[in-house]
Amino acid sequence: MITIVFYLIVLLFSVVIHEISHGAMADYLGDPTAKYAGRLSLNPLRHLDLFGSIILPISLLILTRGQGPIFGWAKPVPINPYNFRDKKWGNLKVALAGPLSNFFVALFFGFLLRFFSLPFRLFDFLSVIVVLNLLLAIFNLVPIPPLDGSHLLFSLLPEKTLRIQQFFFQYGIFILILFIYLVFPLIYPLIFWIYRIIVGQPF
């Protein structure tokens, strides 16, 4: 029970860091929309999303009986790309900032596990942080709206694909739900493989 509670707390603050990174990058590029909306805050209440932060994690917790990875997302930060100094690559940079923040969190705690001798219980808790942030980073790179991967992909596609993009943004949440329950579990081995490379031992 303690592990599950810890897992949910780590999930909450990992998705908060993810969204703050989007907003901070947008602010760096000249768009203060997220800052003015109060979204550059570690207060999780400012970032909660009904489905991604509550319904999905609880559903996964019930379905896996606490034995499988539990993940989700926060409410997207508001941005106005017309304010970006970098009109060409601004959207891509903002989209990439979120997954990279989770990856850097995983690297930081992963290197602590690799190079320091830690008590067994603390090692387990930090391992959860590493795996969960790797999971969030890879999950958000999937090119299905509203995930960051879709913004990365569509920023590289020509304008003639606009109708295809609109279709995916309109029905993306339904495609994403199917992907989460049918396809994403197949990616878990990749996550554990990256964990082993960083930490130097299996999860």
So which residues are the catalytic ones?
19
In order of 17, 39, 150, the CA distances from 156 in angstroms are 25, 27, 10
Is the separation of the CB atoms in 177 and 142 below 8 Å?
A: no
Provide the Cα torsion 57, 52, 25, 93; round to 10°. Answer: 100
Residues near 114 by Cβ (< 8 Å), separated by ≥ 6? 198, 199, 200
Residues near 57 by Cβ (< 8 Å), separated by ≥ 6? 8, 11, 70, 71, 72
Half-sphere exposure of 180 (CA within 13 A, CB side): 23
Dihedral (CA of 132, 137, 140, 143) sign: negative
CB atoms under 10 Å from CB of 25, counted, come to: 23
Which DSSP letter does residue 200 get? Answer: S
In order of 6, 14, 75, 115, 189, the CA distances from 100 in angstroms are 23, 12, 18, 22, 20
